[in-house]
Structure 1
Amino acid sequence: MSVTIQTSQNVLLEYEPASIGERIMATLIDYLVFIGWVLLVIFVPVGVLKLNPNTFYVVLMLLPLLFYDLICEWQLNGQTLGKIAMDIRVVMLNGSQPSLGAYLIRWLLRIVDTRLLGGLVAVIAIAANGKGQRLGDMAAGTTVVKTKAKVSLADVTYQSLPETYEVQFPDVRLLTDRDIQIVREAMRRGSEAVVTRTAERVKEVTGIRTDLPARAFLKIVIDDYQTLAARE
């Protein structure tokens, strides 16, 4: 099963949804972070330093735990520490960058998803939805996907090219850094159909004509763009 996301450039990318098990493990890791924080700011002062924190101090120190998911996902590009450990991330189904509003909706509905019935609501929603969405994701238009690439990063990332490398398609200078990033993502995560559509889109933008296979063509596009950018 995969989730297809259409970018603003009309390129379709396929992601593998994070499994229920991976999301649960990410949550458990986040709970370990919670425990570590409580030990650090409450039990150490009380048990080790023999301090007597008042109620205001305790509430103030526990506030970060309340907003942990919201702040982390907002500041860490859709990830909490648990999600980072499990290589999963929150993304928008429309291909855009999740906004603070989207993260806020997910955070508010977490009470229903994960706090009621011991998280059973979220498990049922994710299993039944088909896009890896709990209720908060459905409301925010997000889902959680795996961040690991389907192919080796070495196949598509910028690599050292020989100084004698000759640019085959000079018109790739018509592309932007964002376009090249989309090309790389399509090669990393997309099916052959996605790669083919991406190659066709690049040809439309640049006017390049070639009979090369789509994947081979896009690899040259990346190398040419890298070379031209380095020379400018």
Structure 2
Amino acid sequence: MLTGTAPTPGGSATAGTAGLPPDLIVTGEAVALEIRPASFLLRMLGGLLDAAVYVAVLIALVLALASSAGTNQARLQTLTIVSLVAVVIIVPTAVETLTRGRSLGKLATGVRIVRDDGGPIRFRHAFIRALTGFGELWLTVGSVAVVCALVNSRGKRVGDLLAGTYAARVRDDGRRPAPLVMPPELAAWAATADIRALPDGLALAARRFLDRTGSMEPGARRALGSQLAARIEPLVAPPPPWGTHPERFVAAVLVARRDREYAVGSAAQQRIDAETAELRRLPHEIPD
């Protein structure tokens, strides 16, 4: 394949000269994601909202336990400690695990906790963050977390450093990428090519790269396009015609996969609709 900067289907026809924003996160596929580290103010606001909710829940639990425990102080102390552990560690861990890094405060501020590579967090990440947060957030009234976030370029607190996570801005700004179209010179090749399933991370990286070609420097655009094309080419047979531009090859693969998946899904839905209609019709065909 040749390398160069050519108009990408569905993308801008000219490359930008401003380059990538300095705080844009780059994945392992060397493709810039639209998620960026959340500002310190957003993180603090979201943390305060979460803390207010957890404190309110803890107070309600302690009052309920005090009324049920009566004069048994030992039982009350035990239940209070259990409630504290549940509200400070167990509940935040469960919430961030089930919501993939979101909580009430983060939802209100448009923030999500993600891994350093931009992927969703799992139980391990959420548990480390919650366990560390007991010391840096609750015992020190957030002072340790504030200092750490201020000196870190991504606004990480200690829990994020240990878990390998950071807070990212994910609020939707209403923009949608333009749909990809098949490069005309590759339509005949794509119609008969055997295209294996692309790994989710590779397919997502390729789509995001094509969405951002217009904002990349020409050199970075050529390098990233060639790298993605080199990773996709072993999954395609036969290879594209000699001299195909990497960006147009990547676009052709994604369009072909999209169209084939849509055709398979449409055929399956038509079969389901036909079977449903037949099941609804049959009882009325049976004579009384």
TM-score w.r.t. the length of structure 2 is: 0.59
Describe how 1:105-116 pairs up with structure 2 within 5 A.
105-116=128-139
* Deviation for aligned residue 1:18: 0.6
Mean CA deviation greater in 191-200 or 106-115: 191-200
1:23 to 37, 43, 48: 43
1:73 maps to 2:92: no
Superposed CA deviations along residues 78-132 of structure 1, whole A, max 9, x for unmatched, are 2222212222112222455434222222222213432354323222212211122
- Deviations along 1:49-85, one digit per CA (max 9) or x if unpaired, are xx93223666665554223221111111122222122
1:80 & 1:20 partners in 2: Cα distance?
17
State the match for 1:53 in structure 2: 68
Return the alpha-carbon distance in structure 2 between the equivalents of residues 189 and 132 of structure 1: 25
3-state SS of the aligned residue for 2:114? strand
Q: 1:147-188 deviations in whole A, cap 9, x for unaligned? A: 2467822436x99xxxxxx78744583342613223334456
TM-score by length of 1: 0.70
Q: Say whether 1:192 aligns with 2:192.
A: no
Q: How many residues matched?
A: 217
1:126 equivalent to 2:149? Answer yes
Q: Is the 8 A contact 1:199 1:217 kept in 2?
A: no
Describe the SS at the equivalent of 1:118: coil
1:137 corresponds to which letter in structure 2? D
Moved more, 117-126 or 135-144: 117-126
Task: Select which of 150, 159, 176 maps to 1:153.
Answer: 176
Quick one: distance in 2 between partners of 1:21 and 1:126?
10
Which stretches in structure 2 are left out of the alignment for 5+ residues? Answer: 1-21, 70-75, 182-186, 234-238, 265-288
Q: 2: CA distance between counterparts of 1:184 and 1:117?
A: 44
Show the counterpart of 2:31.
12
- Check whether the contact 2:32–2:209 (CA below 8 A) recurs between aligned residues: yes
Structure 2 residue identity aligned to 1:174: R
2:257 pairs with one of 217, 225, 228 = 225
Gapped runs of 5+ residues in structure 1? Answer: 160-165
Q: Structure 1 pair 33/3, CA: closer, same or farther in 2 (3 Å)?
A: same
CA distance in 2, matches of 1:189, 1:104: 35
How many Å separate the matches in 1 of 2:216 and 2:146?
32
Structure 2 distance, partners of 1:142, 1:6, is 13
Which protein has greater RCO, CA pairs closer than 8 Å, 6+ apart?
2
Q: Tell me if structure 2 keeps the 8 A contact 1:92–1:141.
A: yes
Tell me, in whole angstroms, the C-alpha distance in 2 between the residues paired with 1:37 and 1:188.
44
- The answer to whether the 8 Å contact 2:101/2:120 transfers is no
Alpha-carbon deviation of 1:23?
Answer: 0.9
- Alpha-carbon distance in 2 for matches of 1:99, 1:107: 12
Instruction: Give the secondary structure class of the aligned counterpart of 1:91.
Output: strand
2:196 aligned to which of 143, 151, 174? 174
Instruction: Specify the structure having the higher radius of gyration (Cα).
Output: 2
Aligned mates of 1:39, 1:95 — CA distance in 2: 36
Map 1:96-111 to 2 at 5 A: 97-111=120-134
Letter of the 1:11 partner, please give it. A
